[in-house]
Amino acid sequence: MRVIAKSTLRAFWEKHGDAEVPLKTWYMIVERADWKDTHEVKKIYTDASVIGNNRVVFNIKGNRYRIVVYVIFKLRKVFIRFVGSHQQYDKIDAKNI
């Protein structure tokens, strides 16, 4: 899958150093994946939440942080829509971000 954009992750881990390794790991796994649908996402990330509108939420660092992505499986693209703390996540509309 092509993740757009790693710079979003980098900007986050530069402010939250404890997120760097987990975010880099997530990025590497997703870049190497060849997901056809959300079922394949859940095979690797069993705690990921498929929330509709082509959005998937990933828990990072023991659910301290979250990533919301918009996935277009046919194009093999994953667009990062949000990276933040669990508390910040609670304040957004993840289905429409």
Which CATH number do you get for residue 77?
Answer: 3.30.2310
- d(CA 71, CA 84) in angstroms, rounded, equals 18
- d(CA 13, CA 10) in angstroms, rounded, equals 5
pLDDT of residue 61: 96
DSSP 29-93: HHHH---SSHHHHHHH-TT-EEEETTEEEEEETTTTEEEEEEEETTTTEEEEEEEEEHHHHTTS-
Number of domains, the chain: 1
Print the domain residue range for 71. 2-89
* Residue 16's pLDDT band (cuts 50, 70, 90): very high
* Residue 1's pLDDT band (cuts 50, 70, 90): very high
Residue 97 lies in a domain: no
- pLDDT tens digits, 72-87: 999 999 999 999 999 9
- pLDDT tens digits, 21-63: 999 999 999 999 999 999 999 999 999 999 999 999 999 999 9
Residue 11 lies in a domain: yes
